[in-house]
Homo-oligomer: A and B are copies of this chain.
Amino acid sequence: MFTCVLDPKSRVTLCDQLYDALKEEIGRTAMGTRMPSKRQLAEHLHVSTATVEAAYGRLISEGLCESRPRSGIFVTAQADLVRTARTENEQPIRWDFGTGAADAAHFPYATWARLMREVLSEQNTEFLLLGDPQGAANLREEIAGLLHRLRGIDVPPEAIVLGAGTESLAAALVPLIGREKLFAVEDPGYSRVRRILVSGGVRIAPTPLYQGAIDVRALYMSGAGAAYVTPSHQFPTGKEMHMEQREALLRWAGETGGYILEDDYDSEFHFSGVCEPALRAMDTGGQVIYMNTFSRTLAPGLRLSFMVLPEALIGRYRMMHATCSVPGFEQETLRKFIAGGYLERHIARMRVVYRSRLQVLEKTAQALRLGEVAPCSAGLHVLLNVSGTVPAQELVPLAAQAGVRLMRLCDYGVMRGKQDERVVLLGFSGMDEAAIQEGLEALKRAWF
């Protein structure tokens, strides 16, 4: 049990003392660790529950802990964040196998900066005004071209909506589709979008996977009116949705009138074999909402995502939104970047870089006998089924102590009961080959 010395005579309040001590403790503690309960801690330290509550409250408000209903208070993972709000005392992360990163070192900084300077020097004051609520028309034309070339999807620019991140687009979809509808999400699945939907006030139906994709039978049974899916690279299992599953999903949409929210993230990074067509390209009934982001192909800090709405929803979108959340200067920089062919060249280059990293990761994991890496044909993370005898629950804390950040597969499910689940996610978009090797070696030392 965590303990500390509190001085009731100090000029610093008991709450402040406790807060400082807990914060220091958290700095030494692995993410996901359960903290002592308020009552336990109050009894143990001979202070009031209110004092403990206030100290925990501050830690929670700072994002260092989170309270999970009926489970207790846990040190946060801030799992899908690239950067964590690191406190002075927190364990430094030397190797980050988190997902969701884009490689800042390979970002075509010089080109992006040159284009933005160009935009600035043109002194077009139009970018200072509120533009089209869906984003600038000429940028949407470039995105339509990109979709055609990269994914074989033909959409009119009028159907495209630009937004500051997938989360803000997902939030906008809730009233568009209807808050009374039940939203199915993959379980395990992408927790950030799940959280946004819940905040949006809809009921969600966490739906199990069948052969790596959302179980369409369960979808029928749930009575869902919309389904959020990641067909190119299911998050987090990494599976690609087969053609039969795609057809079944579209059939579900056609028969029930449901909407499919197709998050096509990572589709640009396909390493082997043939890439399945996007659901949007197969859709004839106007029931697929296609979503994608430039966070992975460029950088998450630029806050650039887009979606393609069925015709029936565009008018509603324009009624609800008078503004676009992406600044004018940035829109124009992105337009030049796509029009100049820089984005596609960057993606092609990164495909080579990432494929090579994937090979290093697979080879090293095998050589170190860390466990089995699931075969991976697309996307920027793989699954590793860890061998050895270390208890499953210890995998993440032990890695953290060794300076390695990663997550277990079961952390992404709504049900976190699988305490013996030994599968971890290894994202390789944020580290170069040497760092990947070092990180895996650190894991070897930590786990074996």
Contact = CB atoms under 8 A, between A and B. Distances in A.
B301 A127 contact: yes
A83 B130 CA distance: 7
A53 to B, nearest CB: 12
Contacts of A356: none
Contacts of A125: 104-105, 107, 109
Interface in A369-421: none
- Among the interface residues A123, A127, A200, A301, which one has the most CB atoms of the partner chain B within 10 A? A301
Interface string A106-131: 01010001001100110101111111
Interface stretch (A138-146, A320-328, A360-368): A320-328
A319 B81 contact: no
Contact of A301 (B85, B130, B300, B319): B130
A129 B201 contact: no
Contact of A83 (B100, B101, B129, B158): B129
Nearest to A430: B129
A302 interface: yes
Contacts of A113: 120-121, 123
Interface string A66-84: 1000000000001011110
Contact of A60 (B60, B107, B164, B315): B315
Contact of A61 (B61, B120, B311): B311
A128 B299 contact: yes
Interface string A307-319: 0000100110011
A199 B113 CA distance: 37
Nearest to A320: B199
A57 interface: yes
Contacts of A215: none
Contacts of A104: 125, 128-129
A303 B323 contact: yes
A380 B178 CA distance: 37
A62 to B, nearest CB: 7
Contacts of A165: 323, 325
Contacts of A441: none
A326 B128 contact: no
A402 to B, nearest CB: 23
When A and B form their complex, which 7 residue pairs have the shortest distance between CB atoms, in order from nearest? A61-B315, A128-B299, A301-B328, A164-B325, A104-B125, A175-B199, A113-B120
12 contacts: A61-B158, A61-B314, A78-B322, A85-B132, A128-B300, A167-B323, A168-B168, A175-B200, A179-B201, A195-B322, A200-B201, A201-B201
Given A113-B121, A127-B301, A303-B325, 5 more contacts: A100-B130, A109-B123, A129-B299, A164-B327, A167-B321
Interface of A: 57, 60-63, 66, 78, 80-83, 85, 100-102, 104-105, 107, 109, 113, 116-117, 120-121, 123, 125-133, 158, 164-165, 167-168, 171, 174-175, 179, 192, 195-196, 199-201, 299-303, 311, 314-315, 318-330
